[in-house]
Every structure is written in C-alpha cells, then in structure tokens.
Amino acid sequence: MASVVDRIKAYLSSPKGHAHVERAKTMARDPRNRRKVQEFVDRWRARRGHH
C-alpha cells in the first residue's frame, strides 16, 4: 500500500494536481488572500499563546 506521502506526490504530478497547484499559486499572489491568511495565522498564534 502506498504511503500518504507517495499518494500526494503522485497526485501533485498529475494534470489535475498541476492545475490545483497553479490555482493555489495564483490565489497566493492576491493581496486580499494574503491578508486573510495572515489574519488567520495571527489569530491562531494569539489563541495558542493563552494556553
């Protein structure tokens, strides 16, 4: 049985995987999306600091 990592590698090398990677890269370049991610990370870090 293929490991999870092997299955992910196989998916990412497939045409559908390539399309999803390119879409993610495009979304990552959008300043609005970058801000949303940064806000999420900031909230997550703040929450972890209280434990």
| Per-position pLDDT tens, the chain of length 51 | 789 999 999 999 999 999 999 999 999 999 999 999 999 999 999 998 765
Domain parsing of the chain, residue ranges: 4-49
pLDDT at site 48: 87
- Nearby residues of 10 by Cβ (< 8 Å), 6 or more positions away: 2
pLDDT computed for residue 49 by the predictor: 77
Q: Say how far apart CA 7 and CA 11 lie, in whole Å.
A: 6
According to the model, what pLDDT value does residue 51 have? 59
